[in-house]
Amino acid sequence: MLKKIAVVALPDMAPFEFGVICEVFGIDRTDSGGPGFDFRIVTADPGPVTTKLGFDIVVADDLSAAADADLIAIPAYSVTGGDPDERVLDLLRDAEKRGAWILSVCSGAFALAEAGILNGRRSTTHWMYTDQLAREYPLTDVDPDVLFVEDRGVITGAGTAAGIDACLHLVRTELGAAAANVIARRMVVPPQRDGGQAQFIQAPVPERPSDSFAAVTDWMLENLAENLTVDVLAARALMSERTFARRFRAELGATPAAWLNRQRLIRAQQLLERTDYGLEQIAAESGFGSSAVMRHHFLKVLHTTPNAYRRAFSCTTTAEEMAG
């Protein structure tokens, strides 16, 4: 279970990426049904820690406070300033040995690579640094086209805001979709984004789909149980099928089918957590049609079955309570 979190403050770290980790894990949201963590900020030598923007952050705890953490998180830092302190690298190695989660945001992946944590694992980092990471650490398989990578207990996030995606993914994996959704709602961000880094390099995706697509996606969410084919959606958007498919992918970073499958999976997770509905009813209401199809998507994306997911994350809320 994810209870104790330690973020390592490194010299010349990036304040935003550091703040992302603090925002997701460092705020007690139990008053709104969210998780609360034992959150620690640690550093090799307690005292002022420099940031890339020229101001310091004063950290009181040394690395010993992270020795039993369930998650060690590394924010972005200046990779031109030399390798991280060997004591930080030893902390990461020890965390891997005892089976703790390890997470990096942006250039924080370089610390994991230097510690040998990424050897034999897939990884990612900000698109500006993916070639450098692959060149300097050839034992890791760097994927430049994703928002984050999880590989056997190690999560590497891409640039800046993708750190939010990586952190919420970990919360969802350990504590369930409901917990991740509470955090996302309080942060006013999507609980889960589709797509990869490529969409941000050439043409940034807007905060929200254009008005025409917002209307369509809202309608799709309200009708997940229906057979939402591209021709049906295109007609609703008053576009040709080819134009609709092309513009949908450009604006939302995924094909209509992929976006729908993700939303249906999230809906099924919510129903498994919060209701006592049977699997066939959940499959029907989330749009998968049958429990066998739903099980296939759970195994493919979440690497678990709906029954196992319910056992892990059920809030024992009845259907009547949810409806009320």
Looking at the chain, the number of H-run helices and the number of E-run strands are: 15, 10
Q: Write the DSSP symbol of residue 229.
A: -
The CA distance from 13 to 302, in Å, is 32
Tens of each residue's pLDDT in the chain, 324 residues: 899 999 999 999 999 999 999 999 999 999 988 999 999 999 999 999 999 999 999 999 999 999 999 999 999 999 988 889 999 999 999 999 999 999 999 999 999 999 999 999 999 999 999 999 999 999 999 998 888 999 999 999 998 889 999 999 999 999 988 899 899 888 888 776 665 564 444 333 334 455 668 889 989 999 999 999 999 999 999 999 999 999 998 888 789 999 999 899 989 988 998 899 999 999 999 999 999 999 999 998 888 899 988 887 777 543 333 333
Per-residue tokens: 282: 């959940």
Architecture in CATH for domain 4-187: 3-Layer(aba) Sandwich (3.40)
Strands 101-105 and 4-8: unpaired
Residue 62: Cβ-neighbour burial (10 angstroms; 0-12, 13-18, 19+): middle
Length of the chain: 324
Q: Where are the beta strands (DSSP E) in 9-130?
A: 38-42, 47-50, 56-59, 71-74, 101-105, 122-123
The CA distance from 62 to 67, in Å, is 10
Per-residue tokens: 253: 């970073």
Does the predicted model carry a pTM greater than 0.75?
A: no
Greatest CA span in the chain, whole angstroms? 62
**CATH 3.40.50.880 residue ranges for the chain:** 4-187
CB 267 within 8 A of CB 287: yes
| Cα dihedral 95, 98, 103, 107 in deg (nearest 10) | 40
Q: Which CATH number fits domain 205-324: 3.30.390.30, 1.10.260.40, 3.30.420.40, 1.10.10.60?
A: 1.10.10.60
